[in-house]
Amino acid sequence: MPPTSSRDFQKAALQRMTTAEVLLREKLTLDAQYIGGYTVECSLKALILHRTPETDRPETLTRITSSSRMHRSDVLLGELRDLGVALPLALAKRMRRFDWTTDLRYETGRRDTGETIAFLKTTKLIFDWVEGQLT
CB 134 within 8 A of CB 6: yes
pLDDT digits 0-9 by tens, 20-66: 999 999 999 999 999 999 999 999 999 999 999 999 999 999 999 99
pTM: 0.95
* 1 domain-assigned: no
Determine, yes or no, domain membership for 114. Answer: yes
Rounded to whole angstroms, the Cα distance separating 120 from 123 reads 5
3-state SS assignment for residue 133 = helix
CA-CA distance, 42 to 10, in Å (whole number)?
Answer: 6
Per-residue pLDDT, averaged over 57-78, amounts to 95
Q: What is the pLDDT of residue 2?
A: 87
DSSP 93-112: HHHTT----GGGGG--S---
Q: Report yes or no on 44 lying in a domain.
A: yes
64 falls within a domain: yes
Structural domains counted in the chain: 1
* CATH code assigned at 15: 1.20.120
Could you tell me if 51 and 135 are in contact, meaning their C-beta atoms sit under 8 angstroms apart?
A: no
